[in-house]
């Protein structure tokens, strides 16, 4: 019928031109809206988003405590989806499941030239410096694409946060048998524990939340846990035979936790800061100096880290579904998001379904 035919054409036109988005307009506020569909450009790919993982960066942005951030911003960088179209992406195929490396680097600065695109001087992190993946379709550089390798959409959405942990462990140069203290049992800290275990370390989990420490013991089989509200020094000495950990990795983003971490190092230890906060680091220089300690930061991750995570997922060394505790549809995010900040709700990883 003519009227019916016109209706079908109109719906198709709207579908191809507009897509739904969710924007963090100011701290504490989300708004749904619509915007134009992305158009394929040179050296880029378009992904139909299927899964969005919610991470600490998103939560901190919503709180207004995230560094390097401005509003309004479309959040989301833990993403998985279907490859819709692309330019200059050899080896990829339309329709295949993919994730991508969400740290868009310039390729020419000192960091990029030295093989450290993860800390490019001109970096644009998807969902932080540039609008992210709380959208139906997203355009990304083709060079950032990562093959799905047969993994589920849920698993692919968790590759990025686990890669953060894998990178921190690689920065620390973890060797088999040494004690690695991971401060903070949130999603990033849990990933660090996983990859420290895979590297052969004896992992010690520390947090103030007993439920999260129980999660470490029950789900990740972490042998040693310490509640940061107790006598931490005594506990660490007992676990390590008075030696103290040779690697300390912070994943809290808490100024107090980071400053306290300096005292937990063995002599000759390495301290890696994965967590990020806005304040100043305060350390006793004599205490740090006498240990001949090493302090380093760990930012983002590299393709090598992403590929390591994918291999570990495929081999069964890491089960990504372990982390998923909450799941909502795209239309529920605005209503549910604030609740994920409350420790009472026991959120490890919230996943948004776009389907």
DSSP 70-111: -SSB----EEEEEEEEESS-TT--TT-EEEE--EE--SSSHH
Q: Pick the more confident residue, 277 or 273.
A: 273
Is 220 within the bounds of a domain?
Answer: yes
| Domain assignment of residue 333, given as a range | 2-157+319-353
12 pLDDT exceeds 90?
no
9 pLDDT exceeds 70?
no
Is 65 within the bounds of a domain?
Answer: yes
Please check whether residues 187 and 75 belong to one and the same domain.
no
Is 313 within the bounds of a domain?
Answer: no
Burial classification of residue 11, based on how many CB atoms lie within 10 Å of its CB (0-12 exposed, 13-18 middle, 19 or more buried): exposed
Mean pLDDT of 130-147: 96
Please check whether residues 116 and 177 belong to one and the same domain.
no
* Per-residue b or e along 209-234, where b marks 16 or more CB atoms closer than 10 Å to that residue's CB: beebbebbeeebebebbbebeeebee
Look at residue 144 in the predicted model and tell me its pLDDT.
97
Residue 152's contacts (CB-CB under 8 Å, 6 or more residues apart) are none
| CA separation for the pair 101, 105 (Å, rounded) | 10
Look at residue 29 in the predicted model and tell me its pLDDT.
94
Please check whether residues 258 and 185 belong to one and the same domain.
yes
Look at residue 219 in the predicted model and tell me its pLDDT.
93
Give 8's pLDDT tier (boundaries 50, 70, 90): very low
Mean pLDDT of 294-306: 97
| CA separation for the pair 11, 18 (Å, rounded) | 11
Please check whether residues 213 and 191 belong to one and the same domain.
yes
**Number of domains observed in the structure of the chain:** 2
Tens-place pLDDT, residues 157-197:
999 999 999 999 999 999 999 999 999 999 999 999 999 99
Give the domain CATH number at 196: 3.40.50.720
Is 131 within the bounds of a domain?
Answer: yes
Is 312 within the bounds of a domain?
Answer: no
* Per-residue b or e along 92-119, where b marks 16 or more CB atoms closer than 10 Å to that residue's CB: beeeebbbbbbbbbeeebebbeeeebbb
Could you report how far apart the first and last alpha carbons of the chain are, in Å? Answer: 31
Please check whether residues 242 and 349 belong to one and the same domain.
no
Look at residue 120 in the predicted model and tell me its pLDDT.
97
Please check whether residues 147 and 183 belong to one and the same domain.
no
Look at residue 16 in the predicted model and tell me its pLDDT.
61
Mean pLDDT of 120-149: 96
Please check whether residues 146 and 174 belong to one and the same domain.
no
Please check whether residues 76 and 117 belong to one and the same domain.
yes
Please check whether residues 104 and 197 belong to one and the same domain.
no
Please check whether residues 115 and 171 belong to one and the same domain.
no
Tens-place pLDDT, residues 278-287:
889 999 999 9
| CA separation for the pair 78, 219 (Å, rounded) | 22
Mean pLDDT of 29-50: 96
Give 321's pLDDT tier (boundaries 50, 70, 90): confident
CB atoms within 10 A of CB 46: 21
Is 29 within the bounds of a domain?
Answer: yes
Is 308 within the bounds of a domain?
Answer: no
Residue 47's contacts (CB-CB under 8 Å, 6 or more residues apart) are 79, 81, 82, 83, 84, 98, 100, 137, 138, 139, 140
Crossing angle (nearest 10°) for helices 187-198 and 159-172: 50
Mean pLDDT over each residue of the chain, to the nearest integer: 93
Give the domain CATH number at 328: 3.90.180.10
Is 314 within the bounds of a domain?
Answer: no
Cis bond upstream, residue 4 (ω within 30): no
Look at residue 276 in the predicted model and tell me its pLDDT.
86
| CA separation for the pair 213, 211 (Å, rounded) | 5
Mean pLDDT of 229-258: 97
Please check whether residues 199 and 119 belong to one and the same domain.
no
Tens-place pLDDT, residues 64-96:
877 778 899 999 999 999 999 999 999 999 999
Asked which of 57-66, 73-82, 97-106, 215-224 is least confident by mean pLDDT, the reply is 57-66
Look at residue 5 in the predicted model and tell me its pLDDT.
38
> What is the token pair recorded at 279?
């304040």
The fraction of the chain above a pLDDT of 90, given in percent, is 87
Please check whether residues 30 and 147 belong to one and the same domain.
yes
């Amino acid at each position: 019928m003519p009227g019916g035919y016109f209706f079908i054409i109109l719906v198709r036109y709207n579908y191809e031109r507009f897509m739904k988005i969710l924007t963090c307009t100011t701290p504490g506020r989300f708004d749904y809206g619509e915007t134009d569909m992305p158009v394929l450009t040179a050296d880029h790919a378009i992904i139909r988003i299927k899964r969005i993982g919610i991470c600490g960066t998103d939560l901190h942005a919503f709180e207004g405590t995230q560094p390097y951030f401005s509003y309004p911003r479309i959040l989301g960088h833990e993403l998985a989806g279907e490859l819709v179209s692309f330019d200059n992406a050899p080896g990829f195929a339309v329709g295949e499941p993919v994730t991508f490396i969400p740290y868009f680097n310039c390729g020419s600065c000192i960091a990029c030239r030295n093989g450290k695109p993860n800390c490019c001087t001109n970096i644009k992190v998807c969902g932080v410096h540039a609008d992210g993946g709380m959208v139906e379709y997203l355009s990304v550089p083709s060079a950032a694409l990562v093959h799905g390798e047969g993994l589920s959409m849920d698993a692919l959405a968790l590759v990025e946060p686990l890669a953060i942990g894998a990178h921190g462990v690689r920065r620390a140069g973890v060797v088999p048998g040494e004690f690695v203290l991971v401060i903070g049992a949130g999603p990033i800290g849990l990933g660090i524990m996983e990859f420290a275990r895979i590297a052969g370390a004896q992992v010690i989990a520390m947090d103030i939340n007993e439920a999260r420490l129980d999660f470490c013991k029950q789900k990740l089989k972490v042998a040693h846990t310490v509640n940061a509200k107790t006598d931490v020094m005594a506990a660490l000495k007992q676990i390590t035979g008075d030696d103290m950990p040779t690697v300390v990795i912070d994943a809290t983003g808490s100024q107090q936790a980071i400053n306290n971490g300096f005292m937990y190092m063995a002599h000759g230890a390495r301290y890696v800061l994965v967590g990020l906060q806005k304040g100043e680091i305060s350390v006793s220089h004599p205490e740090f100096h006498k240990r001949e300690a090493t302090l380093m930061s760990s930012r983002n991750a590299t393709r090598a880290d992403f590929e390591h995570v994918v291999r570990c997922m495929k081999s069964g060394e890491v089960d990504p579904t372990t982390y998923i505790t909450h799941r909502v549809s795209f239309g529920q995010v605005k209503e549910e998001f604030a609740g994920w900040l409350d420790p009472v709700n026991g959120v490890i990883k919230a996943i948004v379904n776009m389907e």
